[in-house]
Structure 1
Amino acid sequence: MGKTGGKSISFFGLVAMGIGCMLGTSWLLLTGTWLDTAGGPLNLAVAFILCIIIELPFAFAYMEAIPMFPLPGGEVVYSYAAFGPRGGFAVGWAGILMNTIVFCWVDLAAISLLDELFPALKETAVLYHVGDFPVTLPNLVLQLLLAGAILWVQIKGANVCASLAKIATVVLLVMCAIGLAVCFAHFDPAVYAADGGMEFDFAGSASLLSLLVFSVAGWETVSKAAADATGPAARKAGAALITCLILVTGILCLVSTAVAGCMPWREAVGRTAPFADVLVSITGLPWVRLLFLVTAFVGAVGVMNSTLYSSAQMLYGLSRFALVSRKFAVLHPKYGTPVRCICFTAVFVVLTPFTGKLFFIPFINVASLTTIVMWVMSFAAVLWLRKTRSNLRRPVSMPGGRVTAVFGVLASVFLAGNILLPMSPGALSGLEYGLAAALAALGWVLYQFRDRSVGAGEQEKLIFGDLLAGELPATPCKIEEK
């Protein structure tokens, strides 16, 4: 199956796409929310440590899957090979939803940043209210323009997307490094411990863990971008993925820790940008806040770029594989990009501005749920393929062997239970269950309109192309290595 988007993505391009999808605005906008949810900085630190530990088995599974199936569609390919059409569609739709929801949330977050820079935007020409949230004409126009600009970049192709991701990534990393150096130079352990900051409560850490799944999601974007990489970059896609996970999770934890060590953590709760506020307090320079708000806006653009790319690639894969209508598989005549897939994703962002900020927090939790579905099914696919298609070519094996496999199963159960069981600390609310159900129903409708004329053999050829043409039978069984 051919690639989309023109020129190849380099190793740094892969890392930039992953970091650009992960770092975004969370480090600036969610620090107060994280501290409040965790109930203190110690609980927050524990939650971040658990986040890395729990996600590593899933990342290791991707390390094995990516070089085994370096094809457009990412998780769709892995799950189809293991569980057939329904499995492939389920994980694909979960991935589309996760990236699309993140796109919508970041579009809201970007406008929140502009509201901080220009307060008149949230007060001028109020059209109506959705609950307690006003919808203003300036914000509405700006959100649509921003989404339109990202849409144009996507249509131009993968190499343009990667170039934008590189710029955003460099700006974010440099600014975060400078800010962290200043904060830790003034870190006060007494401030960190104030207001019960050193009192540990696992329930607080577990509650935050559900939010962190959203905040650190995005490293799996590398699995989709790997299809547009060649040579050394393609062989090192797994390393790029692990680099993104550890680097970004570490930065997010350090930013929150730095804030709690320079400002009593309860004071950070409710602030839009506590990290920037701390830096202003330390330096005495009001323009520092403006600088970091602008930096976060650049990060928002990077996230929107990466998530729309990933979402469109997954929908393109579903269409090419006849798991949804094949009308989505039409490519742009000049740039070779899946233009209809890009536009379908953009529809959600067109609707989001009209809801004000009603879904600002619900988006986070629903995105966490879809992310867990995608990770767990991809992990299960790797394990199941070891049993049913043991002779598949595996250039890289999941590190840790059976220990990683067992731990990954336990992590899957914990993550799913923590967000789905009503009595758990990180459970969804009624609105969030309703939103998730509505999006699942939309997926069911799309699946019903798939191209049913495509047989199992032809469908597998569409998915695996020349890589494994003729070697994957319609039902799982052992096959000969090519």
Structure 2
Amino acid sequence: MNNSAKQGSISFFGLVAMGVGCMLGTSWLLLTGTWLETARGPLNLAVAFLLCMAVEFPFAFAYMEAIPMLPLPGGEVVYATAAFGCRGGFLVGWAGVMMNTIVFCWVDLAAVSLLDELFPVLGQTGLLYTAGGYAVTLPNVLIQFLLAAVILYIQYRGANVCAALAKIATVVLLFMCLAGLIAAFAHFDPAVYASGGGLDFDFTGSMSLLSLLVFSVAGWETVAKAASDAEGKAARKAGLALVVCLVLVTGLLCLVSTAVAGNMPWREAVTSTAPFADILVDITGAPVVRVLLLLTAFVGAVGVMNSTLYSAARMLYGLAGSDLMSRWFCRLHPKYGTPTRCIWASAALVLLAPFLGKLFFLPLINTASLATIVMWVTTLFSVLRLRRTHPELRRPVSMPGGRVTAVLGIIASLFLTLNLILPFSPGGMGGLDYLLSGVLAAAGVLLYRTRDRSVTDADRRRRMFGGLLNEM
């Protein structure tokens, strides 16, 4: 597979920044109330976060082995194609493209919501129509297109520019989050936390929230796509960077929600757009704090859009480079060496987002969660299968926990999948979610049919493994 898409290089901190930037975004500010409502209380929320961390660790450990074993552009596409052939590779690749473009769409909508909070006139002027009771206005549509255009230009400039933006967004986000958490926990009131049945345990509430959390903490796997653009030492530690992202962001999101519940009755928090900002305004007595946090979340939104479009384009490039779709997508920018057609194709998938308004907020979350689970589960099983079919591959890092992690990963795979796809489960998808998933799957089938069918799985494996096997 052509590795010339690499332009510039990404440091270890750059890898962490891209992962954190893809994960943190706006959810810490905009979704706290939704999480508390879905979990039906702060105790159930804390349990859901612990469950989320527990079920994701086996997948993260699988990535730790996969990344240095097959450090090629495309991430999960490479692992799955090597293990399961072209169909498996395309399945996980298209799921990755969908997950990242859906997150891009969702964050684009969230960024406009933040601006509407700061400048209410944007959501009240130039009404075009309503979608599902939500207003779609001309200023909001134009802003979303402008944001997408800026991110598109950054993608053209290459991996080092993307990583630089991710570093800036990550530093700003972490500083504001940590400063806010220190102030919030200094005023934490256990009586407020327990009010409204906050300590009443309901496991179905935790299960319901778990499906949303898969979406909210997804993004650490971005490191797998960026690893091929990393420096030597950073590339070898890409798996560690991935685990750091998972632990850091999941912990921060849980702490933010807990801080809110300890300063504001949780039933009151569910009615607020940005409860974390509200409690800090009450603590400091300075309304400007709300503005600063909203601006910080907007910076985070830009960071997520940057990271997700980067991942989507790299996965498309991996699909094309593996002959899992037309090689027409393999064209590189003559100056920056970036996969321009993949970038454009990824951007084209988000053009409808500005016209959907907030109608698809929840369906986008559930569809992205399903695509994320497909990526994680396939990577885990790819690692396990490659141990049997290609034991000679160099493995600088082995999956921590060995067989125990493998068994736990299989259990986690079933747990996450069934909780999301079964309609009667606490975290089950709805009718619109299934419709959206079906349409996107059909689009993937059409792209898969554009592949060069003269290329066999043996040819693909030879192209992927050739250099690696020669090192043995």
2:157 aligned residue: 156
Per-residue CA deviation, residues 336-355 of structure 1 (Å, 9 max, x unaligned), is: 10111111111122111011
Report the count of equivalent residues.
471
Per-residue CA deviation, residues 129-186 of structure 1 (Å, 9 max, x unaligned), is: 1120111000000000001100000011000000000000000000000000000000
2:442 aligned residue: 441
* Partner SS, residue 400 of structure 2: coil
CA distance in 2, matches of 1:467, 1:109: 43
Per the normalisation by structure 2, the TM-score is 0.98
CA distance in 2, matches of 1:294, 1:466: 47
Residue correspondence of structure 1 range 281-430 to structure 2 within 5 A: 281-430=282-431
* Partner SS, residue 135 of structure 2: strand
1:478 aligned residue: none
Residue correspondence of structure 1 range 121-270 to structure 2 within 5 A: 121-270=122-271
Check 1:402–1:457 CA distance in 2 against 1; reply closer, same or farther (3 A cut): closer
1:101 aligned residue: 102
CA distance in 1, matches of 2:460, 2:68: 21
CA distance in 1, matches of 2:463, 2:447: 19
How much has 1:465 moved relative to structure 2?
5.3
* Partner SS, residue 136 of structure 2: strand
Gaps of 5+ in 1: 470-480
How much has 1:386 moved relative to structure 2?
1.2
Gaps of 5+ in 2: none
* Partner SS, residue 76 of structure 1: helix
CA distance in 1, matches of 2:278, 2:430: 31
CA distance in 1, matches of 2:243, 2:186: 29
1:477 aligned residue: none
**Mean Cα displacement is larger for which, 312-321 or 445-454?**
445-454
* Partner SS, residue 129 of structure 1: strand
1:475 aligned residue: none
Answer yes or no: is the 8 Å Cα contact 2:6–2:228 preserved in 1: no
1:120 aligned residue: 121
Aligned identity (percent) is: 70
Answer yes or no: is the 8 Å Cα contact 2:263–2:279 preserved in 1: yes
Answer yes or no: is the 8 Å Cα contact 1:224–1:313 preserved in 2: yes
CA distance in 1, matches of 2:81, 2:348: 27
Check 1:464–1:100 CA distance in 2 against 1; reply closer, same or farther (3 A cut): farther
Answer yes or no: is the 8 Å Cα contact 1:5–1:228 preserved in 2: yes
Letter in 1 for 2:90: F
1:273 aligns with 2:238: no
CA distance in 1, matches of 2:404, 2:424: 29
* Partner SS, residue 55 of structure 1: helix
Q: Please list every run of at least 4 consecutive aligned residues from structure 1 whose deviation after the TM superposition is greater than 3 angstroms.
A: 455-458, 461-465
1:2 aligned residue: 3
Answer yes or no: is the 8 Å Cα contact 1:331–1:339 preserved in 2: yes
Per-residue CA deviation, residues 258-288 of structure 1 (Å, 9 max, x unaligned), is: 0000000011102111000110011110000
Per the normalisation by structure 1, the TM-score is 0.96
Letter in 2 for 1:308: L
CA distance in 2, matches of 1:233, 1:6: 15
How much has 1:453 moved relative to structure 2?
2.8
How much has 1:396 moved relative to structure 2?
0.6
Answer yes or no: is the 8 Å Cα contact 1:25–1:299 preserved in 2: yes
Answer yes or no: is the 8 Å Cα contact 1:107–1:143 preserved in 2: yes
CA distance in 2, matches of 1:138, 1:7: 36
1:57 aligns with 2:76: no
Per-residue CA deviation, residues 175-233 of structure 1 (Å, 9 max, x unaligned), is: 00000000000000000000000000000000000000000000000011000012210
CA distance in 2, matches of 1:370, 1:401: 26
* Partner SS, residue 201 of structure 2: coil
CA distance in 1, matches of 2:166, 2:468: 29
CA distance in 1, matches of 2:12, 2:344: 28
CA distance in 2, matches of 1:355, 1:168: 27
CA distance in 1, matches of 2:346, 2:361: 18
1:18 aligns with 2:34: no
Letter in 2 for 1:405: A
Letter in 1 for 2:84: F
Residue correspondence of structure 1 range 438-477 to structure 2 within 5 A: 438-464=439-465, 466-468=467-469
How much has 1:457 moved relative to structure 2?
3.8
Per-residue CA deviation, residues 289-327 of structure 1 (Å, 9 max, x unaligned), is: 000000000000000000000010000010011101111
CA distance in 2, matches of 1:347, 1:393: 38
CA distance in 2, matches of 1:54, 1:164: 30
CA distance in 2, matches of 1:171, 1:183: 18
CA distance in 2, matches of 1:317, 1:430: 32
Per-residue CA deviation, residues 65-115 of structure 1 (Å, 9 max, x unaligned), is: 000001101001111111011001000000110001000000000000000
How much has 1:455 moved relative to structure 2?
3.5
CA distance in 1, matches of 2:466, 2:316: 18
Answer yes or no: is the 8 Å Cα contact 1:3–1:227 preserved in 2: no
